[in-house]
Structure 1
Amino acid sequence: MSRNRCDGLLARVDFPLYTLQTLTNRHVIVAGGGGASNTGVHNGFEIFELSHNGTRFVAEEVMRHETGPNVVMTCAVRNLQNRTYLTAGQESHCQLYKINMKMVDAAEMRRGSFRAENGLVRRRRRTVSENDNISKTDRNSNTMEKRISFEIRPCDSVQTDFSDDPLLRVVRVSHNGKLMATGGFDTKVRVWSFPKMELLYVLEGHSKELDDLDFSPCDKQLVSIGKDGQALVWSMTGAREPLLKITCQPPNGNKYLFRRCRFGMVEDREGEHRMFSIANPLSRSGRQRGLLQAWDSAGRLVRVRAAGEALSALAVRDDGRYVGVGTMYSGSVDIYVAFSLQRVLHVKNAHMMFVTGLEFLPVRGRGPGLHSRSDAALLSISVDNCLCVHSLPPRSTVPAWVAIILIVFVLFCTFSLCSYLGI
């Protein structure tokens, strides 16, 4: 086990993980499962609360909700009018859940005296490695504070894919919480009202199954990508034809297919956004090198960076400052500066298998943030059942007094050299 992987391990669950979302600035929900086959592998969600003990990030299990025979392949979370909604892709259907939050005594949660919706009493437990220690002072200080507990209640369910072998591949909810978009094997993008989940219209433009969807930060546009090699940008103001049709533009002329897409804010430019995508070569011969690409609002390619291997996951931080990618074969994770696509962190072999999901800890999210020494923190999951965190160290700066001393020293050396040479 590499040093990076050991340092980043937050939790292990007993089922493969396919999707994750942040619920608050301190809570994350992961989901997956083994499917309907009788393998003994569970399907469902787990919620973890994150904290930082001054040395590293720590995760504690809050609750678990099992979904019976239905594996969860994709999910989306949206806070709307003081209510939290969770949408989950389960085979051909999209299941809506309400997540009820309440403040309870921390000691009560540790005793396990709270109850999950499925009736299973879940004892709050630590899920990090045994060598992670919390000081006695921290433990005593937690006994009097209030903590958030969660209850997941199933609500409506709608069929979202109507192919011969239906499967919902991706679900996304708009930032204002009014729209939901779904895509799957039948190649169609369906737009629904949210949270009523009433079908509004169908967007047809792809010829093969959908891989990803995302709403722009202002919710005026929706991007969809499919295995037909296209990224289509749709207007959410009523037009039924795509505004833009984008194809991958690799530098070497080989054919590439988009894999994931995400919109992101342009840092320090209010209202402006940029689209990021990852793409992999269509040919499977030789060593595959994926691409990370940045596009402007007009669909023009702005930046491109080649990765060492094929890519599988993509995330953009909520302030638009950083982009994270996960790899297909080595399970590695990288963080890039969004503006320049300069790589600032590489975690080799973060997982034992391909990365299935990434999510940055939010800086503008709900509730108090985590206090840590890192400039950014990226969560990652994989089918190796692990939830990991990867911290970007803060950018080092030279104190002013050190800079002044260096300047004086350089001037002194220059004056001495000039005097010695008689200049």
Structure 2
Amino acid sequence: MPHTRRSFDGLLAKVNFPLYTVQMLTNRHVIVGGGGGSAKTGVANGFEIYELSHDGEKFIVEEVIRHETGPSVVMNCSTYNDKKHSFLVAGQESHCQVYNVQTVLINNNVEVETLNPHNDIRNRKSKMVHTENHTNNIKKLKFVIKASDSVQTDFLEEEPLQRVVRISRLSKIMATGGTDGIVRLWGFPSLKPLHTLKAHKEEIDDIDFSPCQNYLISIAKDGLAILWDYTKGKEINRLTWQQPEGSKYLYKRCRFGVVEGEKGLSSLYMLANPTGRAGKQKSYLQKWIPKDGLLCKVAALDESLSALAVRDDGRFVALGTMFSGSVSIYIAFSLQRVLHIPGAHSMFVTGLEFLPVSSDTHTVNSIAEAAVLSISVDNQVCIHSLPFRSTLPAWLAIIVIILTIFLTFVLCSYLDI
């Protein structure tokens, strides 16, 4: 049976604008973005960065920086770190805006060091221990976000809009998709155009890069799911499945994940929603073997699905729902649900992000098996953790087996069997 939410999980922060995108910036810092759009509603547009910690009983967040983006709502974003720089890319209307992110060490509100974003911020943070005179010597991290290059990524004649952006960790390639149905590949951070993938006839819903192979998946409102070799800009295959008779399904989200214990292999997870609800059709969480185009596992749900995330080690998958605002965590290998949080949000879930796996004993790994952040247009940032599942010690299991065999033998002897 899946766990229910524990009392100290739930709301972390509430901002004054609807939220559409969430990313981990470091293993302790999360960035969320959204806004009210260009209409003069008085609702802001921009980003918030929070530092996340755990005090042994509950999660705590502290706002680090707020960056407003004027009239442009932030609908999607992605982050990238290399040995010298840290970048944030964001979909703002028809353009992709690149931001340089600098990390600064602050001591008593005075800048003392500009850090390399790729350096182990976790270790630096562990060194930021309050000294004996801790009330007078407190060191913290601060982020400085500066707008850099911008490039138009969607060219629909009426109301062009970038719907999604991703950056490959393998080859420094950025992919964008929008309402014109075209996936465009760019060199990053140069923004040099590389390939234009014209396979979809309607707007793109999602794209994702494989973490260990030259695969890119794209899904769109034309119902197609296409696997690409993004280094060559060529289609590999189209993923099809036997849909229930009389039903039509559209893919909503797609995410690659590494195969646990298998170096260099990836699995593909997708959400499929029915286009109509007349027959109360199920929605599906699907697991694919991308290279073979094989649908290997399916989990059926009674509600339309809206958000998807895969943990960086490939062990867990999380999904969010459309109508009830619920969040669930599944074991990636079996698609068995192990955590369910009904009504996590008052409106549909717009984004999910797992806390990364880390050896830092001060992060969530010391108090839970997994934790996922969720956002919604209800302006809330929430967190949901999976408690360590209890297991029977090996020595105790052996004793139980021996006792069972012994008692069975005694019972058989008593019954003269």
Q: TM-score range by the shorter chain?
A: 0.7 to 0.9
Counterpart of 1:282 in structure 2 is: 275
Q: 2:198 aligns with which of 204, 229, 238?
A: 204
Equivalent residue in structure 2 for 1:28, among 14, 27, 30: 30
Q: Decide whether the 8 Å contact of 1:261 with 1:276 is kept in 2.
A: yes
User: Matched residue of 2:239: which SS?
Assistant: strand
Does structure 1 residue 271 correspond to structure 2 residue 273?
no
Q: How many residues align?
A: 394
**C-alpha distance in 2 between matches for 1:261 and 1:53:** 34
Whether the 8 Å contact between 1:215 and 1:263 is mirrored in structure 2 is yes
Instruction: Kindly provide the amino acid, as one letter, of the partner of residue 239 in structure 2.
Output: I
* Whole-angstrom CA distance in 1 between matches of 2:146 and 2:92: 16
Question: Does 2:175 match 1:194?
Answer: no
Matched, 1:237 2:231: yes
* Distance change (3 Å), C-alpha of 1:411 and 1:366: closer
Of the three residues 278, 303, 306, the one matched with 1:312 is: 306
Q: TM-score, normalised by structure 1?
A: 0.86
- Cα deviation, residue 210, structure 1: 0.4
Query: Residues of 2 paired with 1:260 and 1:329: CA distance?
Result: 16
Say if 1:5 and 1:349, in contact at 8 Å, map to a contact too.
Answer: no
Say if 1:355 and 1:381, in contact at 8 Å, map to a contact too: yes
- Indicate how the Cα distance of structure 1 residues 157 and 171 shifts in structure 2: closer, same or farther if over 3 A, else same: same
| Aligned counterpart, 1:62 | 64
1:39-78 to structure 2, matched below 5 A, reads 39-78=41-80
- 1:111-136 deviations in Å (ceiling 9; x for gaps): xx77xxxxxxxxxxxxxxxxxxxxxx
What does residue 222 of structure 2 align with?
228
Aligned AA (2:308):
L
List aligned pairs for 1:281-360, cutoff 5 A.
281-285=274-278, 287=280, 289-296=282-289, 297-360=291-354
Tell me, in whole angstroms, the C-alpha distance in 2 between the residues paired with 1:237 and 1:140: 54
Output the CA distance in 1 between the equivalents of 2:23 and 2:326.
20
CA deviations on 1:182-218 (whole Å, 9 max, x unpaired) are 0101111111110011212211000101010101112
- What is the CA-CA distance between 1:245 and the residue it aligns to? 1.2
Question: Offset at 1:339?
Answer: 1.2
Q: Which residue of 2 aligns with 1:130?
A: none
What per-residue deviation string (whole Å, max 9, x for no partner) do you get for residues 264-310 of structure 1?
11110001111110010012435453111111021111111111200
Asked if the contact 1:43/1:71 (under 8 Å) is kept, the reply is: yes
Cα deviation, residue 367, structure 1:
12
Aligned pair partner of 2:168 in 143, 154, 174: 174
Structure 2 unaligned spans of 5+: 112-128
8 Å Cα contact 1:174/1:219 also seen in 2: no
Q: 2:248 touches 2:274 (CA, 8 Å); kept in 1?
A: yes
Amino acid at match of 1:285: A
Of 233, 256, 259, which aligns to 2:252? 259
Query: Residues 33 and 77 of structure 1: is their aligned pair in 2 closer, same or farther, counting only changes over 3 Å?
Result: same
Name the residue aligned to 2:380: 386
Q: Mean alpha-carbon deviation: is it higher for 89-98 or for 218-227?
A: 218-227
1:247 and 2:240 matched:
yes
2:18 maps to which of 12, 16, 19: 16
| Pair 266,251 (structure 1): closer, same or farther in 2 beyond 3 Å | farther
| Counterpart contact for 1:5–1:351, Cα < 8 Å | no
2:39 aligned to 37, 40, 61, which one? 37
| 2:94 and 2:152 in contact (8 A); partners too | yes
2-side partners of 1:231 and 1:260: how far apart?
Answer: 10
Separation in structure 2 between the aligned mates of residue 232 and residue 405 of structure 1, nearest angstrom: 53
Report how far residue 8 of structure 1 moved. 1.4
Check the 8 A contact 1:324/1:334 in 2, yes or no. yes
Closer/same/farther in 2, CA of residues 366 and 318 from structure 1, 3 Å limit: farther
Alignment correspondent of 2:117? none
Shift of 1:370: 4.0
- Structure 1 residues 239 and 201, CA, compared in 2 at 3 Å: closer, same or farther? closer
1:52–1:371 CA contact under 8 A, matched in 2: no
CA distance in structure 2 between the aligned counterparts of 1:232 and 1:366, rounded to whole angstroms: 38
Maintained 8 Å contact 1:49/1:60: yes
Q: CA 1:309 to 1:251, structure 2 compared with 1: closer, same or farther past 3 Å?
A: same
Q: Which runs of 5+ in 1 are unaligned?
A: 115-136
* 1:146 CA displacement: 3.7
Q: Distance in 1 between matches of 2:416 and 2:361?
A: 67
Change (3 A) 1:365 1:244: farther
| Cα offset, 1:56, TM superposition | 2.0
CA contact (8 A) 2:53 2:363 kept: no
SS of 1:274 mapped into structure 2? strand
CA contact (8 A) 1:356 1:381 kept: yes
Residue from 102, 105, 125 that aligns with 2:104: 102
Offset from partner CA, 1:364-396 (integer Å, 9 cap, x none): 699985443211111110000111111111121
What is the identity percentage for the equivalent residue pairs of Structure 1 and Structure 2? Answer: 56
